[in-house]
């Protein structure tokens, strides 16, 4: 079952949003679709120009991906190119539905997927459900890749934030940043604590694009529908990462609830507090202390 909502943050951008629905679970028992994605809310995006679309992530399941293709076909899209923001399962589970399309990823994403392919297909990597067959990227790049959709030129840029294979989509014409999981509201999900200190200069590099609007894959559906976040989401993320790193020595701060830790950025409107992130924060703190 799905609660997929089609939002339109900008005239040429659609967001396919599911999750943050009280009492709704995609499957019974613990599984990565509910516990890693729908509980926090997840969007994938399409940028449409003329009869072409760039789909940024294929969502959490085959039914979600099919719904995306149907919406695009109904809007007259004839040619679809897929870009993967990174290799985590909630972003690539619908790849199979885009068989026959070009699926672009950075080289590191393709490496992660091939390394874990058999476990992912067996439902043994993050547990169930399996993604089988796992359809792999058809084209890879490193660093930077310009992409033309219809008459619109955009570019893919690689960042080591959240995961070492992060790919953001930058539309310079509109100063619009599709951020993948490099930025999240309420806070970043620490998947690679060993790289956290390296994420800070990378966040600076991201801020150097000077985006006007930011669309993260995990965030508030209302804020996404209204056009996305302001550029302050980047320094707010850096402040949170700095807070996490300081907890290695600052014991008192370790037990501060997330609501208090980010209060300043919630009051000034940069972030929207969502209580599903309290458990993400507890896990983030634990991972940072172990690393």
Residue ranges that bind Zn ion, judged by CB under 5 A: 90, 181
At closest approach, how far in Å is the CB of 42 from Zn ion? 6
Phi, then psi, of 47 in degrees rounded to 5: -105, 125
Residue 12 vs 223, nearer CB to Zn ion:
223
Nearer to Zn ion, 126 or 181 (CB): 181
Identity of the residue, 34 or 181, whose beta carbon is nearer to Zn ion in the bound complex: 181
CA pair distance 218, 188, nearest whole angstrom: 9
Min dist CB 80 to Zn ion, Å, is 21
Nearer to Zn ion by Cβ, of 12 and 61: the residue is: 61
Closest distance of CB 267 from Zn ion, Å: 27
95 contacts: CB under 8 Å, gap ≥ 6: 58, 65, 82, 84, 103, 131, 134, 135, 136
Locate all alpha helices (DSSP H) within 94-252, ordered by sequence.
107-122, 196-207, 221-225, 233-246
At its nearest, how many Å lie between Zn ion and the CB of residue 173?
Answer: 27
Q: Which residues is 145 bridged to in the sheet?
A: 156
Q: Identify which of residues 15 and 77 has a Cβ nearer to Zn ion in the complex.
A: 15
Minimum distance from residue 100 beta carbon to Zn ion (Å): 25
Give the nearer residue to Zn ion in terms of CB position, either 77 or 103: 103
CA distance 103 to 39: 27
Give me the helices (H) in the chain, please: 32, 62-74, 89-92, 107-122, 196-207, 221-225, 233-246, 258-261, 263-267, 277-290
- Nearest distance, CB of residue 56 and Zn ion, angstroms: 12
Contact 61, 156 (CB under 8 A): no
């Amino acid at each position: 079952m799905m609660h997929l909502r089609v939002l339109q943050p900008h005239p040429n951008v659609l967001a396919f949003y599911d999750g943050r629905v009280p009492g709704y679970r995609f499957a019974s028992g613990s599984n990565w679709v509910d516990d890693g994605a729908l509980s926090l809310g997840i969007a994938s995006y399409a940028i449409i120009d003329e009869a072409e679309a760039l789909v940024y992530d294929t969502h959490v399941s085959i039914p979600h991906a099919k719904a995306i293709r149907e919406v695009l076909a109904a809007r007259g899209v004839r040619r679809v190119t897929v870009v993967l923001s990174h290799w985590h399962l909630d972003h690539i589970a619908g790849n199979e539905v885009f068989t026959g399309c070009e699926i672009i990823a950075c080289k590191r994403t393709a490496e992660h997927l091939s390394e874990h392919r058999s476990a992912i297909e067996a439902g043994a990597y993050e547990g169930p459900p399996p993604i089988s067959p796992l359809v792999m990227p058809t084209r890879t790049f490193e660093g930077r890749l310009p992409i033309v959709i219809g008459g619109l030129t955009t570019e893919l840029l690689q960042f080591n934030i959240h995961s070492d294979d992060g790919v953001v989509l930058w539309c310079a014409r509109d100063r619009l940043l599709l951020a993948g999981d490099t930025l999240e509201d309420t806070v970043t999900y620490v998947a690679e604590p060993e790289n956290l200190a390296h994420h800070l200069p990378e966040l600076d590099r991201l801020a150097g694009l000077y985006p006007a609007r930011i669309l993260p894959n995990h965030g508030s559906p209302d804020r996404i529908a209204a056009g996305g976040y302001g550029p302050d989401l980047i320094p707010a993320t850096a402040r949170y990462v700095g807070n996490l790193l300081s907890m290695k020595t600052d014991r008192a701060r370790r037990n501060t609830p997330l609501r208090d830790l980010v209060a300043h950025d919630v009051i000034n409107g940069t972030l929207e507090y969502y209580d599903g992130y309290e458990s993400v924060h507890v896990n983030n703190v634990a991972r940072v202390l172990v690393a």
